[in-house]
Structures are given as structure tokens and as C-alpha cells.
Amino acid sequence: MLYTTFYHTLKPYLADNPNLVLGLSGGLDSRVLLHLLAQLKSQRPQIQIKAVHVHHGLSTNADAWLIQCQQWAQDSQIEFVAERVNVNTATRVSLEQAAREARYQALAKHINGNDLLLTAHHQGDQLETFLLALKRGSGPKGLASMAHAMPFAKGSLVRPLLNISREELQAYANECQLNWVEDESNQDTRFDRNFIRHEIAPALKQRWPNIEKSVARSAALCAQQENLLKELLNERYQGLLSHDGSVAINELQKQSEACRNAILRLWLQEQGFTMPSEKQLQQIWHNVALSKPDAAPILTYGNTQIGRHQHQLYAFNQCPDLSDFNVQWDIATPLTLPHDLGQLVLKPLFNNQEFNNQEIKQEDGNLNQAEQKNDFDVQSLKAKSIQTLSLPHRLRVLNVTFSATGIHAHPEGRPYGRALKKLLQDWSIPTWQRQQIPFLVDDNELVAAVGLCVGQAYSGVEYQLLWLPSD
């Protein structure tokens, strides 16, 4: 019976034969979903299924859970992958949220094309999510809780067990003699979700046995209202949206407060960022959007940051502080940049004709070097930037930094030089992007701001400077 319900729930998403990726924690819920997927695989062997276990390292039992999940996947003849993550406990978000964000970032790496990420959330999880949203004072968007399906990474996230109770899952597991792991942290009622699960939900279900189904209906109605609001606002929202994903502050000022708040929420949702609380939404408007034109305010909540540049609002992931990064780069070897910012490669160009014959195309803001046959053996290369320069023969080591302080710059094509900090302002580069640009320095003179300019004294075609993405 459970398999039939599961199959009919998932069937509409299987029309295009997507690859299925299961988030396998090893708990009861995902253990049952693994068992159901094994049955699906036996009926539809053409479907590719992968189980991904995320190892957070937060429990002394984490290694044992990984081994157990791997064994269950192998027994089910399903491909298994383990992802180890480091949960950033230094942020101002809760440990629960930090672990969740790390988990979904790891799972996103396995979702391509029309792939489906399957998670084992059930009715009980929906009740907890609804009550947490109610505790936070959320509106319809928050009270809609978890959707049955939603876009995720390059594919979609689907929750095929969301209409099934935990009691049904446990009965199925017992009937099929399945084992599962118990995370000891799930008993810690200091965490809000655990408090609801162990203290609040049982009392509600004892008083009102159908409370989970009732909450599911309320969440679905809230989702419908939110979708209707999105439809009605979409045309107005698109009129405020710029090509770079920012929104125009002047146009937002023309909207009513209720409309403006709805548009800001829609904007953050469409950009894939965490929804702000009501207080944070007010801070976005009053402390960032309405700040002085020459100010550069940034509001941070969780891993999301909101900044103002000129007359636009921007949303972006929290940028690491790289102001202290300073290394001596031996230009004969590639340099790996910190925080997954990629790699720098300085490749000799033996003659100008070789460079001129290369096919280089501008594509989506990146330079794509389609063919290259030389000592840097790459058949297809998509780089963040490609620049050419020359260096004095004495210069075989360059200083690489992300801080513009104390650097003089005279870019090629400009009649005079000035402080690099001033140039970055002249070029109208947002403050949060300036510390994400590698600067190559000879003494205190700028050799190259990677992706931006080359110093006039280092202009030429002796070398090709490539900034490659981390993947």
C-alpha cells in the first residue's frame, strides 16, 4: 500500500526518465525511501538512482552511520556516494540551519539537468515546519511550509512522502524488517524542532488526532495564496528587475509598503536566497535601500547579504574576508586561490601568431577558449577571464593579494596612474566585489587586476593570464 502511494506521487515526475538522487541520512524516513526506490528500480531499471549520504562530523557516530548507509545502498544495488562537509558554527545562524545549508550545498553538486533530489520529509515534519513558521510570525509564504516539489540546483527537489505519517513509515519499516540509525541529537529538546516533536506535537495529536492532515491543508492553502500573489505581482516585479538581478530602489519607493515587501520577498525567492524575517525586511529597506547614496551598507542574515550600489539593491552569498590574504606566487606553477575562487595560471605565449589563431568567444560574461594545443593541454576551457601581459625577465615571483590598500595602478590605455582604491571607485565596482578580485603586484605597482586591467608597464603578449573556476 505504501509503495503504491509513493509510486503514484512520484510518477508525474518520471515522464522524462530523470536521474534520481536520494538524500540518505540513515534515519527511519530515508531508510524507508531507499527501500521504496529499490522496488522502483526493479520495476523501471532504466532509471538511474544514486544515494548520497552527507557526513557532517557532528556526532561521534557519524563514521558508523556512513558505513551503515553504504551497506544498505549496496544491498539495494543502488549507487552510493558520501559527502563530507564542515559545518560553519561561527556564523550567527543556528547549528540546525548551518548543518542544513551545508547538507543541501553538498547534495546540489549531484543535481544536473532534470535530475530529481528526493528527500524523505513526511507529515510530521510538515507539522513541525508549520509550527516553527507560526512561532516566527511568518506570513503565507512561511506558513506554506514545505512544498511537494520545487526547483533545486539545476533540477528539482521532490518530497514523495510528504502526505504520509511517521507512524505509517514505521509500520512499513517493521513489516519489511528494516533497520535504521537513531541520531542522538534528535532527542535534544534544546533545539526548537525537537522540542515541538517531543513536547508539543504529541499533545496536539492526542487532542486532535487529525492535526497533521489539517495543518497540511492549511499549508497547501497558504501555498496557493502565495502562488496567486506571485502571478499578480510578476509583471510589476519584472519591471523593477535589472539584467544583473538587482532591483531598482527608486521604483520600489513608488510602491505601497505591502506591495514593496511582497516584491522584495519574491525577489529573494527568485534569486534563491533565504527568506528574511519581518524585522530583517524592514532593515533591508530602512538601513540599506534608504541609506545615503555615497554609503555602502551591507545587511547580513544567515549566509545571505543585501547591499546597495548606486540606486540598486543586490542580494548575494556572504563573501569571505580576504583582506589578509597575501602570497608570493611562483609564476611557473598554477596558484590555487582561497574559498573556491579558482586558480590562476600564467602561460607563456611563444609568439603572437599562436595567440591570434586561438578561437576566443565571449559567452555569458565569461571568455571561452574553445581550442588550445600547447603545453597547457586543455581541449575545452571556460575561464573567468583571459588577459595577456608581459613581465621583465627578472620577475619570476609576483605578490597576490585581494586588498587594494597601498597599491599604485597605471592601467594600459590611461594617461596617468592613481591609487588602485580610487580606480575601483571610478569603475563603480560594488564594495563587496572588490575583495573578490585577485591583484597581481610587483613591489607596490599593479601588474594586473585579474579580469579588469593590466598595468601599462606590463602590457604585451608574452604571457596569457587565465583565471580558471575551481571546478
Report pLDDT digits (tens) over 37-68.
999 999 999 999 999 999 988 888 999 999 99
Span 306-335, average pLDDT: 91
Residue 372 binned pLDDT confidence (cut-offs 50, 70, 90): very low
CATH architecture label of 241-317: Up-down Bundle (1.20)
Identical fold, 2-215 and 241-317? no
Which pLDDT band holds residue 310 (cuts at 50, 70, 90)? confident
Between these two residues, 23 and 15, which has the higher pLDDT value? 23
User: Is residue 381 over pLDDT 80?
Assistant: no
b/e burial code for range 262-299 (CB count within 10 A of at least 16 → b): bbbbbbbebeebbbbeeebbebbbebbbeeeeeeebbb
In this model, does residue 10 exceed pLDDT 80? yes
pLDDT at 340: 83
Which has the minimum average pLDDT: 250-254, 267-271, 311-315, 316-320?
316-320
Q: Is 161 exposed, middle or buried (0-12, 13-18, 19+ CB in 10 A)?
A: buried
By percentage, how much of the chain surpasses pLDDT 70?
Answer: 92
Rounded Cα distance between 299 and 264, Å, is 14
Q: Residue 359: pLDDT band by 50, 70, 90 thresholds?
A: very low
18, three cell numbers: 530523470
pLDDT at 419 over 90: yes
- Cα–Cα distances (Å) from 51 to 13, 37, 39, in that order, read 18, 10, 14
pLDDT score of 440: 97
pLDDT at residue 362 greater than cutoff 50: no
Residue 11 is predicted with a pLDDT of 93
pLDDT at 213: 95
Return the bridge partners of 241, or none: 247
Mean pLDDT of the residues in the chain: 88
Of 286-290, 348-352, 361-365, which gets the smallest average pLDDT?
361-365
Query: pLDDT by residue (tens digit) across 27-38?
Result: 999 999 999 999
What pLDDT, in 10s, does the model give residues 240-254?
Answer: 999 989 999 999 999
Q: What is the pLDDT of residue 251?
A: 94
Q: Indicate the CATH number of 2-215 among 3.60.20.10, 3.10.560.10, 3.40.50.620, 1.10.3720.10.
A: 3.40.50.620
Per-residue pLDDT reduced to its tens digit, 421-451:
999 988 888 888 888 999 999 999 999 999 9
Highest mean pLDDT among 84-88, 113-117, 364-368: 113-117
Q: Which pLDDT does position 378 carry in this prediction? A: 34
- Residue of 275, 315, 8, 7 whose CA lies nearest to 142: 275
Q: Return the pLDDT at 471.
A: 61
More confident position, 363 or 20:
20
Rounded Cα distance between 349 and 366, Å, is 21
159: Cβ–Cβ under 8 A, 6 or more apart, which residues?
Answer: 118, 119, 120, 121, 146, 147, 148, 149
Q: Which residue has the higher pLDDT, 185 or 128?
A: 128
pLDDT of residue 367: 35
Furthest-apart CA atoms within the chain: distance in Å: 82
Where exactly are the structural domains of the chain?
Answer: 2-215, 241-317, 326-468
pLDDT of 91 over the 80 cut:
no
Structure confidence by residue, pLDDT tens digits, 216-228:
999 999 999 989 9
